[in-house]
Structure 1
Amino acid sequence: MPRAVCGRLASALRGTRAQPPAVAQRCVHASVSRPSPDQSERTRKPPRAFDPALLEFLVCPLSKKPLRYEASTNELINEELGIAYPIIDGIPNMIPQAARMTRQSKKQEEMEQQ
């Protein structure tokens, strides 16, 4: 948080009955101890991997059918609908608009065969 926002937050907290000074201290500490851009690039963690155990709980938001994890493309695949949901930093993006089509429509397939 910018220092001005932290200062306003600390002032507002002082005006309340509960007066939690620890919150204001954490806010100020967080704004001061941020690493410089050089440090953040060197200490940047690799993207988190998807945990396949989540497949037990995740279903396609459109068909409500189970999904298959494809490690090579880092996507969750719905075979029935032919769509793939991307996984970004270990988190599946289950928004239908973000999914890509994995196969062509039947009409396109028929036209190519002729």
Structure 2
Amino acid sequence: MAEDLIPRVERQSGTVDPRLLEILVCPLTKTRLSFDPVRQELVSRAARLAFPVRDGIPIMLADEARPLDDDE
């Protein structure tokens, strides 16, 4: 099935397909992202933003991102 070819965040396990992290970059800085499994967010340290993952789909809009705290 074609859907199986699309890397995604696995909702059941709360993990991210490593291929997804190779493909996605921060929309603002074009730098790599890391995945926070506890908060279900893709984190851009360069932009100091965390992009939410909803229903297994990364929301890569700056307006939807959460600013990182100083200790994050």
Q: Is TM-score (shorter-chain normalized) higher than 0.5?
A: yes
CA RMSD of aligned residues (A): 1.4
Equivalent position to 1:73, from 22, 39, 45: 39
Structure 2 unaligned segments of length 5 or more: list them: 1-9
Q: Which runs of 4+ in 1 moved over 4 A?
A: none
Which residue matches 1:51? 16
Deviations 1:15-56 (A, max 9, x none): xxxxxxxxxxxxxxxxxxxxxxxxxxxxxxxxx525332101
Q: Provide the secondary structure at the position in 2 that maps to 1:80.
A: coil
Matched AA of 2:17: P
- Pick the structure with greater CA Rg: 1
Q: Number of residues paired by the alignment?
A: 57
The structure with the largest helix share of the pair is 1
Which residue matches 2:55? 89
2: CA distance between counterparts of 1:52 and 1:80?
A: 22
TM-score, normalised by the number of residues in structure 1: 0.47
Alignment of 1:1-114 (within 5 A): 49=11, 51-53=16-18, 54-104=20-70
User: Is this contact kept in 2: 1:52–1:69, CA < 8 A?
Assistant: no
Which residue matches 2:4? none
Percent of aligned positions that are identical: 37
2: CA distance between counterparts of 1:72 and 1:56?
A: 20
Structure ranking higher on relative contact order (CA contacts 8 Å, 6+ apart)? 2
TM-score, normalised by the number of residues in structure 2: 0.72
